[in-house]
């Protein structure tokens, strides 16, 4: 039987995830007169830049025999930095192009930058976190019915061994992702609005650093194993990476807030939904 504490914690985590997914968009529509269309701009741009371009280009390059051999002879962090660089370049460029081309005449309500960020991060938040947690919750209910015939026999002990602290560790990582993605969206927005190319370049660098830091929380791809584990939750090895990532995310937020307050306009024209 799966402990009731695991099920209750998982349900609570899923509700928090759904709140983070939907809450900001609802607030921005109701209070800041943002358009739902901007949310979908961010959503579609993420799909195009991350799921298609990063996945396709990354696989194409890493499957090249010479490069694959080179990466295999190096520390695994070379590959991590390479993939983080692809993510940073493609995702931030997608934001820049959307603001520059699709929304060039709509840069009046600066809160739309937050709405775009909410849409941009929604795909990853749902696909990689909320959906996975919902699947796990279903598995928990199946195990507690006693009928595990549809589950792999060796998988049941693994599910039963998951501690609630693991859910909190993963949630923390995705909250970090939501925050820094939104902060970077704000900076890219104003880089277009104020013609500050250096700000845009800075977001690519900032994104790469954030990706590497988040990977350092989720786990060490080397032989030492995961820092946030299913059986131990948040381990001692995860504490300092979490503190460092938290400090970095706060720094990105401070920069984004400074840019927002110094450059925003008061004209908050409502967009058509």
Averaged pLDDT for residues 133-150: 87
Widest CA span in the chain: 62
| Helical segments of the chain, H only | 4-31, 36-46, 55-62, 65-72, 76-97, 112-125, 131-145, 155-160, 164-193, 197-218, 236-263
Q: What is the pLDDT of residue 115?
A: 95
Q: Is the pLDDT of residue 164 over 90?
A: no
Residue predicted with more confidence, 30 or 238: 30
Of residues 207 and 270, more confidently modeled? 207
Q: In sequence order, what are the beta bridge partners of 229?
A: 233
pLDDT at residue 143 tops 60: yes
Q: Tokens for 13?
A: 């985590």
User: Do the Cβ atoms of 191 and 183 come closer than 8 Å?
Assistant: no
- pLDDT band for position 229 (cuts 50, 70, 90): confident
Among 56-65, 166-175, 199-208, 222-231, the range with the most confident prediction by mean pLDDT is 199-208
Q: pLDDT category, 2, cuts 50, 70, 90?
A: confident
- Residue 222 banded pLDDT, cuts 50, 70, 90: very low
At residue 65 the predicted structure's pLDDT band, cuts being 50, 70 and 90, is low
Using H for helix, E for strand and C for coil, what is the string for 77-95?
Answer: HHHHHHHHHHHHHHHHHHH
Is the pLDDT at 188 greater than 70, yes or no? yes
In a 3-state reduction of DSSP, which class is residue 234? strand
> What is the crossing angle of helices 76-97 and 112-125, to 10°?
140
For 180, counting Cβ atoms within 10 Å of its Cβ (0-12 exposed, 13-18 middle, 19+ buried), the class is buried
Q: Ramachandran region of residue 91, left (φ > 0), alpha (ψ -120 to 50) or beta?
A: alpha
Residue 223 has pLDDT above 60, yes or no: no
Q: Which residues pair with 233 in a beta bridge?
A: 229
What pLDDT score was predicted for residue 273? 40
Cβ atoms of residues 96 and 192 within 8 Å:
yes
For residue 74, the SS3 value is: coil
Identify the pLDDT of residue 106: 65
What Å distances lie between residue 213 and 80, 156, 209, CA to CA?
A: 10, 32, 6
| pLDDT band at residue 78 under the 50/70/90 scheme | confident
Lowest pLDDT segment from 107-121, 178-192, 245-259: 107-121
Token pair for 264: 């925003």
Task: Kindly write down the DSSP assignment for every residue of 94-151, as one continuous string.
Answer: HHHHIIIIISTT-TT-TTHHHHHHHHHHHHHHIIIIIHHHHHHHHHHHHHHHT--TTS
What is the structure's pLDDT at 254? Answer: 97
- Are residues 271 and 35 in contact, defined by beta-carbon separation less than 8 angstroms? yes
């Amino acid at each position: 039987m799966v402990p009731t504490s695991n099920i209750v914690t998982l349900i609570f985590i899923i509700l928090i995830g759904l709140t983070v997914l939907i809450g900001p968009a609802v607030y921005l529509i109701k209070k800041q007169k943002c358009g739902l269309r901007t949310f979908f701009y961010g959503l579609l741009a993420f799909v195009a830049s991350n799921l298609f371009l990063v996945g396709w280009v990354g696989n194409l390059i890493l499957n090249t025999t010479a490069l694959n051999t080179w990466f295999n002879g190096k520390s695994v962090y070379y590959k991590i930095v390479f993939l983080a660089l692809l993510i940073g370049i493609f995702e931030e460029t997608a934001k820049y192009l959307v603001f520059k081309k699709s929304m060039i005449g709509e840069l009046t309500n600066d809160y739309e930058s937050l709405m775009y960020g909410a849409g941009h991060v929604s795909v990853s938040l749902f696909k990689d976190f909320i959906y996975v947690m919902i699947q796990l919750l279903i598995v928990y209910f199946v195990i507690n019915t006693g009928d595990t015939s549809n589950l792999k026999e060796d998988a049941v002990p693994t599910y039963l061994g998951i501690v609630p602290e693991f859910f909190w560790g993963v949630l923390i990582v995705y909250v970090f992702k939501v925050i820094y993605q939104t902060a970077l969206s704000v900076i890219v927005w104003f880089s277009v609005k104020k013609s500050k190319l250096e700000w845009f370049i800075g977001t690519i660098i900032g994104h790469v650093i954030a990706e590497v830091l988040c990977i350092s929380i989720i786990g060490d791809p080397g032989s030492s194993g995961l820092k946030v584990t299913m059986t131990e939750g948040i381990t001692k090895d995860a504490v300092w990476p979490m503190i460092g990532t938290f400090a970095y995310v706060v720094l990105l937020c401070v920069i984004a807030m400074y840019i927002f307050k110094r450059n925003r306009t008061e004209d908050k024209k409502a967009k058509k939904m």
